[in-house]
Amino acid sequence: MTYTNGLNDLIKLKEDYPEYKTVLHSDQGAVYASKNYNDLLGPCGIIHSMSCAGTPTDNAAMELINGWIKSELFTDFHLQGENIEEEMAAYIKFFNEERPAYSLGYLTPRQYRKTYAVVQ
């Protein structure tokens, strides 16, 4: 698995919904600053935004989620690193379908979406 796996998913989503303005926000990691990575974004109409060095608050929501993920994976899920893809898939299922979120009125993301999604 490489950095392009997630990026390919975003590019596919952008192809499905070309009318939406798409901004990809990242930190200044070497991968995100690389020419190869950025060359993939432009032709797809994806705008790349990067936080300033040393300012994790530029993307506080994602920093918070990353902290939760790290904590829950090691504390609650006892991540072993034996099969990362399976372990992450199990965590994503837990996060979306079983873990109630305070900010969503103690609904899971799946329940919230079913309840409040605008059907078009």
Cα(10)–Cα(41) distance, integer angstroms? 10
Predicted pLDDT of residue 72: 79
Predicted pLDDT of residue 115: 93
Positions in the chain short of pLDDT 50: none
Predicted pLDDT of residue 100: 93
- What are the backbone dihedrals phi and psi of residue 20, each rounded to the nearest 5 degrees, phi first? -85, 135
Predicted pLDDT of residue 96: 92
Predicted pLDDT of residue 119: 64
pTM: 0.52
Predicted pLDDT of residue 6: 75
Residues 37-72 have pLDDT tens digits of: 888 888 888 999 888 777 777 777 777 877 877 787
H-helix segments, the chain: 3-16, 30-33, 35-41, 60-75, 84-97, 109-116
Predicted pLDDT of residue 109: 93
Cα(53)–Cα(55) distance, integer angstroms? 6
Residue type (1 letter), 86: E
| CA angle, 68 then 74 then 80, to 5° | 140
Residue entry with tokens 């399976």: 86
Residue type (1 letter), 96: N
